[in-house]
Amino acid sequence: MLRDAWALAIEGLYLIDQKQISERLALTRAARELAIENSSTRGLAHKLVMETVRRQNFLDYLVTYASTPNFIKESDPKVRAFLRLYTFQTKMGEGSNYEKAASIAKIGRSILGWRRMKRAEEALGKILGLEPKDVLKDLKDTQKKAFETFQPPFFVKYCFKLLGRRTALQYFNSMLSSPPTYVRINTLKMSEEELLEKMHDEGVTLEKVEALSHTYKVTKAVQPLVRTSSFKDGLFYIQDKASCLASEVAAPRSGMTLIDACAAPGAKTTYFAQLMENRGTILSIDYSKRRFKVWKREIERMGVEIASPIIADTYNPLPIGNVKADIVFLDPPCTSTGVFSRLPSAKWRLTRRLIKHMVDIQWKMLNSCAKFVKEGGSLVYSTCSITLEENENLIERFLRWHLDFTLEDAKPRLGCSGLRGQIHSQRLYPHLHKCNGFFVAKLKACTK
């Protein structure tokens, strides 16, 4: 099992590095390619990958310190993946003594081959002899904090300015582990009491999130949630409480018309239908055919009857005629700075240019969506990002351009007020609210 787990982890890291895809997708593809189905093996590989990717900048620095400046960049991509895994295990994991390190090196040779590993052999011994604290002692403050918190240096500076040094460090530390798992129970299937009883019988212990209607924190599960019959029967959806909050801020009711822009894979669409009691109309828009396959599966699993899929890009004019909706919900692509704990590979793709690029996309989508809000209707905007540019700054700009919209209180209240005086918006942070970092604002279309 151990060798298979390492083989899967190496392949997963290779795909993340070369294909720029998420950890989950990379491991799914790697497991399929290697024909690895054992759940324990896949679980160990997942842990190895997540913990290694979280610390990638520091691991690369240690490898470089033990070799030459360009060694890690010039290495074979799969050897590079192994070096990161090896460095994590020997410096921060469970392989800090010589015997364990030798065993890990042996596994690497058996997977990649002696010839492929030959150039890395000398570095393995030097890495084992490094003391991480000594390696960092002569660095300047920002660079040192970037390695200690496993963040890009510019993002450390950014968060120090945005949140203050102390709060930013708390935020960074929270990213070293994933937030709790939350589920949203599906009252389209049966009553809340019956649902809770059925899940309890399957060994799932839940704790109610008091501010929200149907959201619970999972405190215990005797098996993976996706393997329970309750999940297969669509009795609950695994959904972070920040996402559930955003859906409740929209406050859809029976009989309404709602546009869910950027809808796939379906978390919010299925919640909107639940809050609407399967009465009304939901137009679910997304550009990705692949993601819509997941959306369709989730719609069927959760018993949603009022949602129609539309394959289109909200960045461009939408092919929905003169539809006017009571609610338009936009959850656009973003930098994912609020979910680095769940998606650590995203932080190594983060740049100032990417933030600007995302803002350009979000601005065009927000303007596109505004056209379909009827008088007195609502436009709800949310991101899983904590940057000012993608959130409060964008909302300020929108309100300057659209005098027919006003900022409405985003209820229920679960997080902090927005920055820059936006007391009606909400922000959530992993270190404060034990969930994804999130922003949500509700814009009201004025009546003439």
Those residues whose C-beta lies under 8 Å from the C-beta of residue 162, and which sit 6 or more positions away, are: 168, 386, 387, 388, 419
Q: Report the candidate in 39, 34, 91, 35 with the shortest Cα–Cα distance to residue 62.
A: 91
Q: What is the 3-state secondary structure (H, E, C) of the chain?
A: CHHHHHHHHHHHHHHHHHHCCCHHHHHHHHHHHHCCCCHHHHHHHHHHHHHHHHCHHHHHHHHHHCCCCCHHHHCCHHHHHHHHHHHHHHHCCCCCCHHHHHHHHHHHHHHHCHHHHHHHHHHHHHHHCCCHHHHHCCCCHHHHHHHHHCCCHHHHHHHHHHHCHHHHHHHHHHCCCCCCCEEEECCCCCCHHHHHHHHHHCCEEEEECCCCCCEEEEEEECCCHHHCHHHHCCCEEECCHHHHHHHHHHCCCCCCEEEEECCCCCHHHHHHHHHCCCCCEEEEEECCHHHHHHHHHHHHHHCCCCEEEEECCCCCCCCCCCCCEEEEEECCCCCCHHHCCCCHHHHHHCCHHHHHHHHHHHHHHHHHHHCCEEEEEEEEEEECCCCCCCCHHHHHHHHHHCCCEEEECCCCCCCEECCCCCCCCEEECHHHHCCCCEEEEEEEECCC
Interstrand relation of 438-445 and 405-408 (parallel, antiparallel or unpaired): antiparallel
Q: What are the backbone dihedrals phi and psi of residue 334, each rounded to the nearest 5 degrees, phi first?
A: -150, -175
Distances (CA, A) of 170 to 165, 176, 217: 9, 11, 22
Task: Specify which residues 327 forms β-bridges with.
Answer: 258, 378
Among 159, 334, 369, 384, the active-site one is: 384
| Residue 244 annotated among the catalytic residues of the structure | no
Distance of CA 191 to the CA centre of its chain: 30
- What are the residue numbers of the active site? 384
